[in-house]
């Protein structure tokens, strides 16, 4: 008996679809790509031809009308996430939405509500959730090797790489570096350290021009740098500095607890280093230990995030990452923006 395959479609045939969704759906033995859609009909046609898909559309509603379609990836720009995602859910289709979930909490809440109302699966496109690095970090924290969490500190500095001009337009992107890069970190903060209770933040646009794809965009109206102080519900505190205005890349994440610390550094030193006073070594042998593991490639992380939805739809396995998680990550970013705009400490959950 032939193995059951999930009928999948892709809405949006741009860079993330070409780089992550099409190739990884194509190599999944339990997926059948049935249709693609893009507002640019020629781009949809080219994607269908490249990946052996029979049907392509320039209106996603035609795609959603197919009876053989069970799930979709929404890989449109962020300003076009909510409408097709909600329409897919109303049509009874499962949804994987790329990050960030939406520009606003109102859009995100409507998406989460649509999934609940229609009883469909709704997950997000945070591939680092499926990395071994973050799995190892989560294990160390959950097993209490560093004791009760006291502080979290994050630094991420790099050079902007913006594939399209709309990334630099607040009305379309919802924000700058915090929305594009920081949304990953916001999700991971919630997952690894627990929910944030309050923030105090400052954002800046230090450079007034960036290149979006081949276009130089001037008078940029999104932030390129943000700094936030975090207060967690569990009593821990933290700091977060993020910028794409830099000229080189560097960064680290540290977790400090009552019994030790965990440090992750960017680049080649990405493997976590752990110092724990709870280990049984004599004092003179104690020190930083490098956790041994082989990281998955970025392509494999993308494959696993897509297969996560496939397994949930076909096998009934629980989602480990939901639309609600994407919504909560957005809420943290919105709290940072609100604090930066008002100059005040902002508490979560946000009031409307």
Q: Which residue has the tokens 């940072």?
A: 336
- What pLDDT, in 10s, does the model give residues 239-264? 999 999 999 999 999 999 999 999 99
The residue extents of the domains of the chain are 6-128+301-323, 129-295+329-347
* DSSP per-residue letters across 285-344: G---EEPP--PPPHHHHHHHHHHHHHHHHHH-PPPSS-HHHHHHHHHHHHHHHHHHHHTS
- Rounded distance, CA 246 to CA 250, Å? 9
**Average pLDDT over all residues of the chain:** 95
What's the fold here for domain 6-128+301-323?
A: Rossmann fold (3.40.50)
- What pLDDT, in 10s, does the model give residues 145-181? 999 999 999 999 999 989 999 999 999 999 999 999 9
CA 351 to chain CA mean position, Å: 24
What confidence tier does 144 reach under pLDDT thresholds 50, 70, 90? very high
CATH of 129-295+329-347, one of 3.30.360.10, 2.40.50.140, 3.40.50.720, 3.30.420.40: 3.30.360.10
Q: Which residue, 31, 29, 173, 11, is CA-closest to 97?
A: 11
Question: Would you state the pLDDT for residue 159?
Answer: 92
Mean pLDDT for the stretch of residues 196-214? 95
* DSSP per-residue letters across 106-152: HHHHHHHHHHHHHT--EEE--GGGGSHHHHHHHHHHHTTTT-SEEEE
């Amino acid at each position: 008996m032939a193995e059951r395959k999930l009928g999948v479609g892709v809405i949006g045939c741009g860079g993330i679809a070409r780089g992550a969704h099409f190739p990884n759906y194509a190599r999944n033995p339990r997926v059948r790509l049935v249709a693609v859609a893009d507002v640019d009909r020629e781009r949809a046609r080219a994607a269908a031809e490249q990946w052996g898909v029979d049907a392509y559309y320039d209106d996603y509603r035609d795609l959603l009308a197919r009876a053989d379609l069970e799930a979709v990836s929404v890989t449109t720009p962020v300003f076009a996430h909510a409408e097709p995602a909600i329409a897919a859910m109303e049509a009874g289709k499962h949804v994987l939405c790329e990050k960030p979930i939406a520009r606003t909490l109102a859009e995100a809440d409507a998406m989460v509500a649509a999934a609940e109302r229609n009883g469909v699966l709704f997950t997000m496109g945070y591939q680092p959730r499926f990395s071994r690095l973050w799995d190892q970090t989560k294990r160390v924290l959950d097993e209490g090797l560093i004791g009760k969490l006291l502080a979290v500190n994050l630094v991420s500095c790099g050079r902007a790489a913006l594939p399209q001009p709309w990334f630099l337009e607040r009305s379309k992107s919802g924000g700058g570096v915090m929305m594009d890069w920081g949304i990953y970190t916001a999700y991971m903060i919630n997952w690894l350290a627990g929910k944030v209770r309050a923030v105090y933040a400052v954002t800046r646009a230090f450079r007034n021009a960036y290149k979006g794809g081949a276009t130089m965009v001037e008078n940029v109206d999104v932030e390129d740098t943000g700094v936030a102080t975090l207060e967690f519900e569990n009593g821990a505190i933290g700091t977060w500095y993020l910028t794409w205005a830099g000229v080189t890349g560097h960064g680290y994440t540290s977790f400090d607890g009552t019994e030790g610390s965990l440090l992750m550094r960017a680049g080649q030193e990405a493997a976590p280093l752990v110092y724990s006073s709870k280990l049984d070594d004599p004092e003179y042998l104690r020190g930083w230990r490098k956790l041994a593991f082989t990281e998955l490639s970025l392509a494999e992380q993308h494959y696993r995030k897509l297969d996560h939805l496939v397994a949930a739809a076909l096998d009934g396995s629980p989602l480990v990452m939901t639309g609600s998680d994407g919504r909560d990550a957005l809420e943290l970013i919105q709290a940072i923006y609100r604090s930066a705009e008002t100059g005040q400490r902002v508490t979560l959950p946000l009031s409307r």
